[in-house]
Chain A
Amino acid sequence: MGAARRFTPPTSPAFWRSPLRGPRLTALLGVVLLAGITLLFVTGLLSYAAYNPDLAGGVNDKTPGKGLLGFSLFAWPTGPHWLYRLTQGVHVTLGVVLVPVLLAKLWSVLPKLFTMPPARSIGHALERLSLLLLVGGALFEFVTGLLNVQLDYVFPGSFYSLHFYGAWVFIGAFVVHVVLKLPRTVRALRERTDPDAAADDTGLVAVRPAPPTVSRRGALGLVGAGSLLLFVTTAGQSIGGWWRRTALLAPHGGADPGSGPNGFQINKSAAGAGVRARDTGEDWQLMVEGGGRRVRLSRAELLRLPQYEVALPIACVEGWSTQDQRWSGVRLRDLAALVGLDEAPPGVLVESLQLSGAFRRAALRDNQVRDPRSLLALRVGGADLSLDHGYPARIIVPAAPGVLNTKWVARMTFGAV
């Protein structure tokens, strides 16, 4: 104590004493993140395309300034009908499961943050700036994603634009990092042991290692156990059925909100969306427009049109989804035919009664309108829709993100997109 034990600053290599750090640990975690983050990025881009933000009019577009970044967009298909359930379930669950891996990876390279001198050369300075974008970007994406799925909208701005542009800032730095570090990573994985501190070119091996309190295998086991625990307490909200009860900490885990045909998960209740009871009563009428014609239909009139039944899920951008529900109602293409658009019906702009919500106006593409499974649903599971599930009528389209399955539909304009 006292004068004998001098303070060692973190800028000194002697400060970092964990015997676990070394190129092998970092390489192992890095390879897991390389695979995981690549899958996160791809499923993220797929989700972006699934919203069809490029539809004319831009009603679905929460990133109108995207410019060249819209290159990855394509007409989102309607099959297989569980497509968005899968891609977005993977995106969110994988993001949650990778948290301990990301934390471990950042811990494993922390001594590098305090390297002295801060920059050896211009190139080194640029690389460190790029690393700030890499680490800041990774944490920014994980934090905004985790907050959004927990409905905690404290981030500064629209989630869609923050998470989308943030991902692109991150991925630029990520690619650079992967290319620059891949040779050393491969070498670390090939060699069975880490070099001595004196021979270590990575600056990760402790020069004055403390006695180990856990083996490296034990530490990796802890990271794996963390991922497994998060998986077990999360994945059920995307699998549904009995498994939902295992998702104890996920926002849409545990028991369903109700029982009976309308008991399944809800994204926005009628009260939450500002739907007033008087708007959905006997006087409600659906307005169908297009091709210069306009038709008004009451719910009773809609029920007299040919009814079809389809089994489709609700799959939310937040990663949770329901199993297939049995919806019944009128085909969208039959509604298009009512205004004379029976030959190759165009896309449709759907407007809701709801007063709030970013998607109270949403557009569907022509391939979605033409799919025989796309309905204006009036009933689910043999019962009338509940108010929280969109009574008097809602859209249900195979493989579309939940928000495009507009509830409390008031007006449909074919050809307006």
Chain B
Amino acid sequence: MARRQGTARVRLRRAVTGGARRAGRWYGEGPLHLLLMVASFALTGYVGVRLLADAQWPSVVVWFVGAALLHDLVLVPLYTVAAQAVARVTAGTARHRAWTGYVRVPAALSGLLLLVWWPLITLAPGSAAAAHYTLTTRLPSEVFWARWLLISAGMFALAALWLLVRTLHAWYSGCTGRPRLRAATARRRRRRATK
């Protein structure tokens, strides 16, 4: 009798764990995962009805999902293609080494500033938005695009200067790994010796 009860218990335990395992396979993740998801979506539901309570709720959904889609499917491909194009054009050749970074870094930083401050930089003189900005702050609205251009120009100039210094440095100090530069150094030394 006792033994039969024992087997029943084992059978029950097997059935329970087997069921849990089957449910786990069906869910695909652990119980903590499930609990987190339920808690998170409960919060989303509670807040979501408030976020979407306004009559403009379809636009809110469009903004929420659209932000992710626009970023993943438009912004990223755009800057990836641009970055790769720059890398192709500036790739190293037999005559000079790659100068990708000297173009890509200032371009990326300039693009970042444009992205973050787009509404201010693109304030068109005479537009309603520009008038609104000045009416609110009593500040001039047309300064931002010029400042952005100047900052960008400054960064490109700095990169060009840096590239120039690096190139000249490589020329004058002589790069041991490069026969061409070694030849140049030797020529220079010969010239110096004749002076």
Contact = CB atoms under 8 A, between A and B. Distances in A.
A272 to B, nearest CB: 4
Nearest to B114: A249
B72 A110 contact: yes
Given A121-B28, A130-B37, 18 more contacts: A65-B50, A67-B46, A69-B46, A127-B33, A136-B64, A151-B132, A156-B59, A156-B63, A166-B51, A169-B51, A222-B105, A225-B109, A229-B112, A229-B113, A233-B151, A252-B139, A266-B136, A268-B136
A113 interface: yes
Contacts of B100: 213-214
A96 B116 contact: yes
- The main secondary structure of chain A at its interface with chain B is helix
Interface stretch (A83-91, A139-147, A196-204, A409-417): A139-147
4 closest A-B pairs by beta carbon, nearest first, are: A121-B28, A123-B29, A156-B59, A139-B67
B43 interface: yes
For chain A, give the interface size range.
35 or more
Interface of B: 25-29, 32-34, 36-37, 39-41, 43-44, 46-48, 50-51, 53-54, 56, 59-60, 62-65, 67-68, 71-72, 76, 87, 98, 100-101, 104-105, 108-109, 112-113, 115-117, 119-121, 129, 132-133, 135-139, 143-144, 147-148, 151
B117 A249 contact: yes
A173 interface: yes
A165 interface: yes
A152 B54 contact: no
A254 B26 contact: no
A240 to B, nearest CB: 15
Contacts of A150: 117, 119-120
Nearest to B54: A157
B69 to A, nearest CB: 9
A175 interface: yes
B119 A147 contact: yes
Contacts of A351: none
Interface string A252-295: 10100110000001111101100000000000000000000000
Contacts of B40: 130, 172-173, 175-176
Contact of A123 (B28, B54, B101, B121): B28
A168 to B, nearest CB: 4
A213 B100 CA distance: 7
Contacts, number: 193
By CB atoms of chain A within 10 A, which of B32, B138, B143, B148 has the most?
B138
Nearest to A167: B47
Nearest to A171: B43
A272 B137 CA distance: 9
Interface of A: 63, 65-69, 96, 99-100, 103, 106-107, 110, 113, 120-124, 126-127, 130, 132-133, 135-137, 139-140, 143-144, 146-147, 150-152, 155-158, 161-162, 165-166, 168-169, 172-173, 175-176, 179-180, 213-214, 218, 222, 225-226, 229-230, 233, 248-249, 251-252, 254, 257-258, 265-269, 271-272, 388
A9 B44 CA distance: 33
Contacts of B119: 146-147, 150-152
A110 B76 contact: yes
B151 A248 contact: yes
B144 to A, nearest CB: 6
Contacts of A214: 100-101, 104
Contacts of A158: 54
A249 B113 contact: yes
A226 B109 contact: yes
Contacts of B62: 156
Given A166-B51, A175-B40, A151 B33 contact: no
B129 A230 contact: no
A265 B47 contact: no
B29 A124 contact: yes
Contacts of B108: 222, 226
A109 B110 CA distance: 24
B21 to A, nearest CB: 14
Contacts of A69: 46-47, 50
Contact of B137 (A140, A162, A180, A265): A265
20 contacts: A66-B50, A68-B46, A103-B112, A106-B76, A121-B26, A123-B29, A123-B33, A130-B37, A133-B44, A139-B68, A147-B119, A150-B119, A158-B54, A166-B51, A173-B44, A213-B104, A214-B100, A257-B137, A271-B135, A272-B136
